[in-house]
């Protein structure tokens, strides 16, 4: 059965590849991207609707709120929300909203978008798919007293922390709303030969500006197939709501059980009404 899939980060890389495969399989896609020209090009190619929101270098979170309102008006039903946009940045930078940039782009933005669309997602008994990273397992530590990474900052640690926040958020979505029909998963897509991190002011960005990713990493199309599996799993397998996946399998992360506290802290930071 065709599904309505909203996918962020759809102007390039894995997001654009996933949009193409989803449309090929007969699904209704709404593409969201940071570049107006690239997003329109992908949308025109596929004949789908699109919205522009900068999920890689926010000046403020107003764009997320505007996007949520646009999606609520355009999509009476959302079967899948794919929070795919993200970025690894460089030196510590505080946005106009007063948040550390990596934390805002990779965690606060998808948290806010998901919560603003929650009524539609619940009514649709939707699936939320979060593109995380194995950095959540390898280089992360959630500190509720330092969510903004003010202490011992590094680009990789800040990115890993935000992606671990995203995994904890995924579990909490499951715990709070699965009985009402909402499901949520997070996954690590693996190394992808894309434009990811090419503008990053970090050592990872330096790596992505070399030929190495093109030689060693998987194609965006292969990474996109992982996302598609969550949308339409095989009859023999099922999506485990609340889980974090690597290589197509649920994987346990050693993280403190602070999902509820993180949720409440984030809700307060974003001045969201508690649900």
The number of beta carbons lying within 10 Å of the beta carbon of residue 199 is 15
- State the Cα–Cα distance between residues 270 and 51, nearest whole angstrom: 22
pLDDT at 64: 94
pTM of the model: 0.90
In order, the DSSP letters of 99-132 are SBHHHIIIIIHHHHHHHHTHHHHHHHT-EEEEE-
Residue whose structure tokens are 């409440």: 264
**β-bridge pairing 183-188 and 4-7:** unpaired
Number of CB atoms found within 10 A of residue 230's CB = 18
- Flag residues of the chain having pLDDT under 50: 58-59, 197-198, 200, 205, 207-208, 215-216, 275
Express each pLDDT in 120-134 by its tens digit: 999 999 999 999 998
Strand 244-246 vs strand 249-250: parallel, antiparallel, or unpaired? antiparallel
Bridge partner residues of 246 (DSSP): 188, 249
Distances (CA, A) of 224 to 82, 177, 192, 235: 11, 26, 10, 19
Q: What is the pLDDT of residues 146-158, one digit of tens each?
A: 999 999 899 989 9
Torsion, Cα of 102, 103, 107, 108 (10° steps): -120
The residue length of the chain stands at 275
Which residues does the annotation mark as catalytic? Answer: 159
């Amino acid at each position: 059965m065709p599904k309505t899939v909203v996918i962020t980060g759809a102007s390039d890389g894995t997001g654009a590849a996933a949009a193409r495969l989803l449309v090929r399989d007969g699904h209704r896609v709404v593409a969201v991207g940071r570049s107006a020209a690239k997003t329109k090009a992908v949308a025109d190619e596929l004949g789908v609707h699109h919205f522009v929101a900068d999920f890689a270098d926010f000046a403020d979170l107003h764009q997320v709120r505007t996007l949520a309102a646009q999606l609520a008006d355009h999509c009476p039903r959302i079967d899948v929300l794919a929070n795919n946009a993200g970025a690894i940045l460089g030196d510590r930078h505080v946005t106009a909203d007063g948040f550390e940039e990596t934390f805002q782009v990779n965690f606060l933005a998808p948290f806010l978008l998901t919560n603003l669309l929650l009524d539609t997602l619940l009514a649709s008994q939707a699936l939320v798919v979060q593109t995380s990273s194995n950095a959540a397992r390898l280089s992360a530590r959630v500190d509720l007293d330092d969510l903004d990474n003010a202490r011992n900052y590094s680009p990789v640690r800040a990115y890993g922390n935000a992606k671990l926040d995203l995994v904890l958020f995924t579990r909490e979505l499951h715990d709070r709303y699965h009985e009402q029909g909402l499901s949520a998963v997070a996954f690590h897509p693996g190394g992808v030969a894309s434009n990811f991190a090419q503008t990053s002011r970090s050592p990872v960005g330096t790596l992505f500006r070399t030929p190495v990713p093109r030689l060693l990493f998987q194609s965006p199309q292969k990474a996109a197939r992982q996302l598609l599996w969550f949308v339409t799993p095989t009859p023999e397998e099922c999506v485990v709501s609340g889980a974090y996946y690597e290589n197509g399998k649920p994987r346990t992360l050693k993280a403190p059980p602070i999902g509820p506290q993180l949720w409440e802290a984030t809700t307060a930071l974003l001045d969201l009404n508690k649900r």
